[in-house]
C-alpha cells in the first residue's frame, strides 16, 4: 500500500497535467494501480477547479485525495506554497497510517519530502506504523553550484531548497535517481550505496504519443525546434547563432523557440541584431525565428512532432524530460555532450551528440536531417524503438515495482 504525494494536479485522462514530471510520475502510478499489479495506491495532489475532493479510479485501486490550494503562487514563494501543501497532505497521511492503509510514501518534490522526513524523525509513529519514505529526484539542485532555471533571480530560495534536498538525500529510506551520472554523483558525494537506485524517467505510454497528429505543412519539414526554459544554462544563444549561420548560407529553414524565462528579452535582442526576421506565430515561415512563449500539453506535442528536429545545446541538465518526449514522438535530437543527453541519444543512431560551440559542425548535422529524408526516417524510427524498449511507462512501472516497492513492502529491500 503506497501513498504518493505530488504538488501537481491529476485527472483520469491524458494530458494529466501541464508539466513533464507529473505526467511521468502519474503514468507510472496508473500502471501500478491497474489490474496487472492490483496495488492499492493513495494519491494526494492539488485540487483544480471543478475537481472532486476524493475520487476512486482503476476498480478502486487508486484513491485520489485532492487538497485545496493553500494560496496562490502570486502571494507566496514556491517553497512556501509546497510547505503549506505538505502540511495539509500530512493530515490525510496520518489518517491512513492510523487505519493501517499505507506503508510507503512516494515523494517527487523536495519540500514535501523534507516535511515528511522531519515528521518521521520526531518519532510521531510507533515503529510498526512508521512509513518508509521514497524520494524520486528529477531536477536536482545539488548538481548546480549556482542558482539556475527558475531560481536565477531567487538566490535565497534556491539555497533553502538546496539545503532541503541535501537533508532529504541523506535521510529518506530510498532514493530513485533518473540518470546514471546523477546516481554516481550522489553515491560518491554522500557515501550512499544500498538505498539508491537508477530508474529512468518516462513521459507516459507510447500508445498515447502515437496518436499525436503531425502537421503536414511543407515548412515544418524545415523547422528546427528549441523547447525549454529561456535561462542561461540552456544556451539558446548558441541555437540563434547557428540558425543565423544557416540562413546566411542560403537555407530557408525556420526556428521555433518555445519557452519563457529571464533570458527572453536578451535572446530577442540578439535575434534582431543578427538581422533575422522574428514572429510570434506558431506556424513556421521561411528564414524566420518564432518566439511562441511557453507551450504545454497537446499544443507542445503537436509542435514537437511536426518539427523536423529538436535542438538543445545546454551546459547543464539532470534528466531532460523534453528528450523523452522527442524519443516517444520520433523526433531527431541534436544535443550537447552532457552525460544526461548521452543516456538518451546514441550518436549517429537516434540523433547527434555535438560540441555546442562548433557552429559549422552543428549546422551540418541540422542540414543533414532536414535535407535527407532517409536520415530523418532512420533516426525517427530509432527514437521510437528506444522509447518503446526502455522508457515506456509500462517498463518504468515494472522497474519501480520490482526494484523498490515490492521489496520494501515485503521487507527484503537489498
Tell me the DSSP string of 37-54.
T---EEEEEEPPTT--SE
Q: What is the pLDDT of residues 219-247, one digit of tens each?
A: 999 999 999 989 888 999 999 999 999 99
pLDDT of 325 above 80: yes
Which residue from 355, 312, 317 is spatially nearest to 331, judged by alpha carbons?
Answer: 312
Instruction: Compute the C-alpha angle 374/378/383, nearest 5°.
Output: 150
Determine the angle formed by the axes of helices 393-400 and 20-33, rounding to 10 degrees.
70
The answer to whether 2-205+392-410 and 208-390 have equal CATH topology is yes
Cβ atoms < 10 Å from Cβ of 6: 23
Q: How far is CA 400 from CA 23, 121, 131, 212, in A?
A: 16, 25, 18, 27
What mean pLDDT is predicted for residues 276-281? 94
Handedness of CA 225, 231, 235, 237 (dihedral sign): positive
Structural domain 208-390, CATH architecture: 3-Layer(aba) Sandwich (3.40)
CB 32 within 8 A of CB 397: yes
Structural domain 2-205+392-410, CATH architecture: 3-Layer(aba) Sandwich (3.40)
Helix ranges (DSSP H) in 172-253: 180-190, 206-210, 236-248
Phi first, then psi: give them for residue 54, nearest 5 degrees: -145, 140
Which three cell numbers, joined as nine digits, stand for 341? 543527453
Q: What is the pLDDT of residues 17-43, one digit of tens each?
A: 445 667 788 889 989 988 777 788 999
Tell me the DSSP string of 378-400.
HHHHHHHHHIIIIISHHHHHHHH
> Would you kindly state where each structural domain of the chain is located, as residue ranges?
2-205+392-410, 208-390
pLDDT at 281: 92
pLDDT of 347 above 60: yes
Query: Residue 196 pairs with which residues in a beta bridge?
Result: 175
Percent of the chain clearing pLDDT 90 (strictly above)? 50
CB 404 within 8 A of CB 180: no
| Residue that the C-alpha cell 521561411 belongs to | 286
What mean pLDDT is predicted for residues 201-219? 90
pLDDT at 373: 97
pLDDT of 299 above 70: yes
pLDDT at 163: 87
Instruction: State the DSSP code for 325.
Output: H
Quote the mean pLDDT of the chain: 88
pLDDT of 316 above 50: yes
pTM: 0.89
pLDDT at 17: 45
Amino acid at each position: 500500500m503506497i501513498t504518493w504525494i505530488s504538488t501537481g494536479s491529476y485527472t483520469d485522462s491524458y494530458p494529466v497535467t501541464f508539466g513533464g514530471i507529473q505526467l511521468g510520475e502519474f503514468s507510472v502510478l496508473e500502471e501500478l494501480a491497474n489490474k496487472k499489479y492490483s496495488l492499492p495506491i493513495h494519491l494526494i495532489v492539488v485540487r483544480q477547479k471543478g475537481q472532486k475532493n476524493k475520487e476512486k479510479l482503476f476498480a478502486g485501486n487508486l484513491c485520489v485525495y485532492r487538497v485545496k490550494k493553500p494560496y496562490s503562487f502570486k502571494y507566496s514563494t514556491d517553497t512556501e506554497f509546497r510547505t503549506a501543501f505538505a502540511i495539509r497532505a500530512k493530515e490525510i497521511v496520518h489518517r491512513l497510517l492510523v487505519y493501517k492503509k499505507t506503508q510507503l510514501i512516494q515523494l517527487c518534490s523536495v519540500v514535501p519530502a523534507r516535511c515528511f522526513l522531519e515528521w518521521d524523525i520526531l518519532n510521531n509513529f510507533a515503529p510498526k506504523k512508521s512509513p518508509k519514505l521514497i524520494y524520486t529526484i528529477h531536477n536536482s539542485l545539488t548538481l548546480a553550484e549556482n542558482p539556475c532555471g527558475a531560481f536565477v533571480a531567487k538566490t535565497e530560495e534556491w539555497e533553502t531548497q538546496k539545503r532541503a534536498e541535501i537533508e532529504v538525500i541523506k535521510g529518506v529510506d530510498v532514493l530513485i535517481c533518473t540518470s546514471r551520472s546523477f546516481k554516481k554523483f550522489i553515491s560518491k558525494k554522500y557515501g550512499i550505496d544500498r538505498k539508491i537506485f537508477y530508474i529512468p524517467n518516462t513521459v507516459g505510454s507510447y500508445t498515447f504519443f502515437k496518436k499525436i497528429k503531425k502537421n503536414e505543412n511543407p515548412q515544418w519539414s524545415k523547422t528546427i525546434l528549441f523547447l525549454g526554459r529561456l535561462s542561461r544554462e540552456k544556451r539558446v544563444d548558441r541555437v540563434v547563432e547557428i540558425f543565423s549561420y544557416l540562413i546566411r548560407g542560403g537555407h530557408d529553414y525556420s526556428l521555433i523557440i518555445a519557452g519563457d524565462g529571464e533570458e527572453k528579452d536578451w535572446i530577442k535582442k540578439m535575434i534582431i541584431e543578427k538581422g533575422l526576421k522574428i514572429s510570434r506565430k506558431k506556424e513556421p515561415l521561411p528564414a524566420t525565428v518564432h518566439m511562441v512563449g511557453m507551450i504545454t500539453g497537446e499544443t507542445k506535442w503537436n509542435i514537437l512532432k511536426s518539427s523536423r528536429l529538436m535542438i538543445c545545446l545546454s551546459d547543464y541538465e539532470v534528466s531532460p524530460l523534453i528528450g523523452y518526449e522527442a524519443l516517444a514522438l520520433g523526433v531527431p535530437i541534436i544535443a550537447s555532450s552532457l552525460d544526461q543527453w548521452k543516456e538518451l541519444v546514441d550518436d549517429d543512431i537516434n540523433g547527434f551528440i555535438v560540441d555546442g560551440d562548433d557552429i559549422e559542425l552543428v549546422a551540418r548535422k541540422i542540414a543533414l536531417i532536414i535535407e535527407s529524408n532517409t536520415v530523418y526516417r532512420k533516426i525517427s524510427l530509432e527514437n521510437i524503438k528506444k522509447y518503446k524498449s526502455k522508457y515506456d511507462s509500462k517498463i518504468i512501472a515494472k522497474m519501480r515495482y520490482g526494484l523498490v516497492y515490492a521489496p520494501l513492502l515485503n521487507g527484503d529491500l537489498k
